[in-house]
Amino acid sequence: MGFIIGSVGSRNIMNQTLSASECQKIIRLKSLNEGTNCGALAQEVVEKCSLIHPSKIDEVEQLIYYLKNRKNGTPNTNGQPLEQVEPSRPSSSCSGAESPSSSAVSAEKANINNIEGYVELLYEDIPEKVTGSALILQLARNPDNLEELGTNDAVLSALSRVLREDWKKSIELSTNIVYIFFCFSTYSQFHHVILQYKVGSLCMEVIDYELRRYDQWKDDLETRRRLTPDVRRRVSDGLSHSLETGTELRRTVSHIPIASGDNRRRILDSSHSIADTWESRRRTVDGISTPNTILAIIDPKEEQKRTKEDYEKMKRKFQNLVKKQDQLLRVSFYLLLNIAEDTRVEDKMRKKNITGMLTKTLDRDNVDLLILVITFLKKLSLFKENVDDMSDLNVVEKLPRVLTMNNSDLIHMTLKLLLNLSFTLQLRERMVRVGFLPKLVSLLSEKRHEAIVLKVLYHLSMDDRCKSMFTYTDCVPMAMKMLLEGPEDDVNLELIALCINLAINKRNAQIMVENNRLQSLMARAFRNQDSLTMKMIRNIAMHESTKQNFIVSITDIAKAIVECPNEDFVVECVGVLGNMTLPDLDFSQLMQRFNLIPWVQNILVPGKFEDDLVLEVVVLLGTAATDEGCAMLLCKADILLSLIELLK
């Protein structure tokens, strides 16, 4: 069966007020198969349908050809699909063995021609709805079918209605339907379908409910876990605490859904058997019996064993439910992420606490789900309002656990989120406080993460209180190694910027000059006249403990000042000399040997050079004037008059 919507020529319109839907006709091509002659069938369709003008026969033939060759939709003469295509999308929840209809669905191959039958299943009971939604999902996972499904109001209305009314009744049904709409969300041209049926709002309701339900399940499991060792301890104490144990167990009501039928009865019996046993024992000890009571001695070890088995069953059921829930949460968040490309839609999500839901999901263990959640948070972190929300929700405090999962994709996405958050001072302080720094430094050795880690570390190094924390890591030696072994003609800007910031700290600077690294830096800087490397050297020269290391390079620096044409490089060289407050350094000899006095006089001419250079020269003069011989030399050269002119 094929669907062809014929265009209506002007001569066929009986009434100009007819709507578009009234001028449509569905034609079922029951004889369409692999051997069909498209041209002959097109001629037959045009002859039998008065709504299609004869001039449209070529278009009809093309449509029939498309229907005949469409993937996953056209049966051959044996009733089997011509081609099976498995799109690279996340796996559907309906493939799980837990589905009541999974075996039937897996045995049946969905056919676009049977869509009406699948819709009818959505009006039956929950198992049939699961089956129908799973079959429609098969169709939606084939992009070739989305255009047709997106214009089928009956299908979309039925799906949205079932999701709205029954999403609490079956997690598998919810997953299937949300997945169908997710398939539409992967293409921007179908986003109006999501918005029209308010699926995004429904998804947020589903997510909120499932997260709260997960908390309840977790609390139930933890309560049962705490009771299990209690029973073991109390058995060893004798019968004196039996009534207390029985009462406590009776108060423990699990909110974890229990399977129907015999399994349900068996689980319920197990969960209450211990309490009943203790109550019977209490009656025996107290001399109380009932007509239906059989007095017997209960082995405490058996009770302990049964209690432990009950807990293990409950734990397995919890894990199974969490696995299904992770599928639903993942496809729901994915749908929301896709439609959030419209910032107006994203803002509506923010007002409905999407950040809170994502943050809460960070506590889960499913790696694929966490990658998606981190990706969503990274997108949201582009806006200050969302960053403020993340700060209030303590997102940074939840991320160290994520980085310990040792999944490269998850770590990479988490680093991108941290980079966005590190633009905020308060969040940078939190990152250091929760111990991110050692972990970030350890990731420097991985090539994939290197660039992002350097950017985050650079942001952290901007804060003076954080600079000293780097001394307790291997960051400084690693950064120096990367800098000295890297290409000289293409310096990594984030790396050199990090080193410049770290050099401001005394201990970091001391580490930088160890193992003759300062001489290697100086040689590299002079070879390339690299102002950034020289700025780093200048910061190293700030500290009393490192100044002695520059004695052997003083002449090279002075020579570069008068000969180098690169003004930025000269500024840094002058800055290094200005930091050389060493009593053994003869500035008068240095000034005369390299003829620095005329050079200084030229720089001090008002308005002739940039203020940065003039300022550094003034600082250099102040340092040089501490040498009595140099001070006399400056006075004779009327440098003081030039300084006074600057003040004017």
Q: Which tens digit of pLDDT belongs to each residue from 380-427?
A: 999 999 999 999 999 999 999 999 998 999 999 999 999 999 999 999
367 located within any domain: no
φ, ψ for residue 75 (rounded to 5)? Answer: -80, 150
239 located within any domain: yes
**Residue 435 backbone zone (phi > 0: left; psi -120 to 50: alpha; other: beta):** left
Please give the pLDDT value at position 297.
58
Residues 216, 319 share a domain: yes
Please give the pLDDT value at position 229.
57
b/e map 116-144, b = 16+ CB within 10 Å: eebbebbeeeebebbbbbbbbbbbbbbee
Task: Yes or no: say if 529 and 564 are a contact pair by the CB < 8 Å rule.
Answer: yes
Q: What angle do CA 455, 460, 466 make, to 5 degrees?
A: 155
436 located within any domain: no
Residues 236, 140 share a domain: no
Task: Yes or no: say if 599 and 560 are a contact pair by the CB < 8 Å rule.
Answer: no
| Cα distances (angstroms) measured from residue 639 to each of 75, 563, 617, 625, 636 | 97, 21, 11, 11, 8
Residues 184, 158 share a domain: yes
Q: What mean pLDDT do residues 599-614 have?
A: 90
φ, ψ for residue 81 (rounded to 5)? Answer: -60, 140
Q: With pLDDT > 90 as the criterion, what percentage of the chain qualifies?
A: 58
pLDDT digits (tens, 9 = 90+) for 319-358: 899 999 999 999 999 999 999 999 999 999 999 999 999 9
- In whole numbers, what is the pLDDT of the chain averaged over residues? 81
Q: What mean pLDDT do residues 121-128 have?
A: 93
Q: pLDDT category, 25, cuts 50, 70, 90?
A: low
> Is the pLDDT at 260 greater than 80, yes or no?
no
Hey, which of 102-116, 198-212, 634-648 has the most confident mean pLDDT? 198-212
Which residues make beta-bridge pairs with 380? none
Please give the pLDDT value at position 281.
45
Residues 229, 187 share a domain: no
SS3 260: coil
Please give the pLDDT value at position 105.
53
Residues 320, 243 share a domain: yes
> Is the pLDDT at 285 greater than 50, yes or no?
no
Q: Which of 30-34, 515-519, 587-591 has the lowest mean pLDDT?
A: 30-34
> Is the pLDDT at 638 greater than 90, yes or no?
no
Q: Which of 154-163, 251-260, 528-537 has the lowest mean pLDDT?
A: 251-260
Q: What angle do CA 250, 252, 253 make, to 5 degrees?
A: 105
Residues 301, 217 share a domain: yes
Q: What mean pLDDT do residues 229-255 have?
A: 45
Q: What mean pLDDT do residues 23-28 have?
A: 64
Q: pLDDT category, 2, cuts 50, 70, 90?
A: very low
Residues 313, 225 share a domain: yes
Residues 316, 240 share a domain: yes
Which residues make beta-bridge pairs with 81? 75
b/e map 30-42, b = 16+ CB within 10 Å: eebeeebebeebb
Q: What mean pLDDT do residues 594-611 have?
A: 90
Q: Which of 274, 300, 324 is the last residue of a domain?
A: 324
Give 489-497 contacts, CB < 8 A, sequence gap 24+: 489/528, 491/530, 491/532, 491/533, 492/454, 493/532, 494/451, 494/454, 494/455, 494/458, 495/454, 496/532, 496/533, 496/536, 497/458, 497/532
How many CA atoms does the CB half-sphere of 598 hold within 13 Å?
5
Please give the pLDDT value at position 389.
96
Residues 252, 221 share a domain: yes
Which residues make beta-bridge pairs with 75? 81
pLDDT digits (tens, 9 = 90+) for 30-77: 777 777 888 788 888 888 887 788 877 877 877 787 677 664 443 333
Helices (H), 287-394: 300-339, 343-351, 354-361, 367-380, 384-392
How many domains, in total, are found in the chain? 3
Q: Which of 165, 197, 229 is the last residue of a domain?
A: 197
Q: Which domain holds residue 303?
A: 212-324
Distance of CA 49 to the CA centre of its chain: 54
Please give the pLDDT value at position 181.
97
Please give the pLDDT value at position 261.
42
The helix or strand, by DSSP H or E, that contains position 523, with its residue range, turns out to be helix 517-528
Residues 282, 248 share a domain: yes
The helix or strand, by DSSP H or E, that contains position 212, with its residue range, turns out to be helix 199-237
The helix or strand, by DSSP H or E, that contains position 641, with its residue range, turns out to be helix 639-647
Helices (H), 462-504: 464-467, 475-485, 493-502
Residues 216, 149 share a domain: no
Which tokens go with 76?
Answer: 């051959």
Q: Which of 429-443, 529-543, 624-638 has the lowest mean pLDDT?
A: 624-638
Residues 510 and 502: their CA atoms lie apart, in Å, by 11
Pick from 413, 423, 328: nearest CA to 376: 413
Q: Which of 22-26, 244-248, 447-451, 516-520 has the lowest mean pLDDT?
A: 244-248
Please give the pLDDT value at position 337.
97
315 located within any domain: yes
142 located within any domain: yes
pLDDT digits (tens, 9 = 90+) for 312-329: 888 888 889 999 999 999
Task: Yes or no: say if 305 and 231 are a contact pair by the CB < 8 Å rule.
Answer: no
Q: pLDDT category, 298, cuts 50, 70, 90?
A: low
Q: Which of 324, 349, 374 is the last residue of a domain?
A: 324
498 located within any domain: no
Which tokens go with 247?
Answer: 């009462």
Helix, strand, coil shares of the chain, percent, nearest 5, are: 70, 0, 30
446 located within any domain: no
Q: With pLDDT > 70 as the criterion, what percentage of the chain qualifies?
A: 79
487 located within any domain: no
Residues 183, 126 share a domain: yes
Q: What mean pLDDT do residues 351-375 have?
A: 96
Cβ-proximal residues to 341 (8 Å cutoff; 6+ apart), any chain: 188, 191
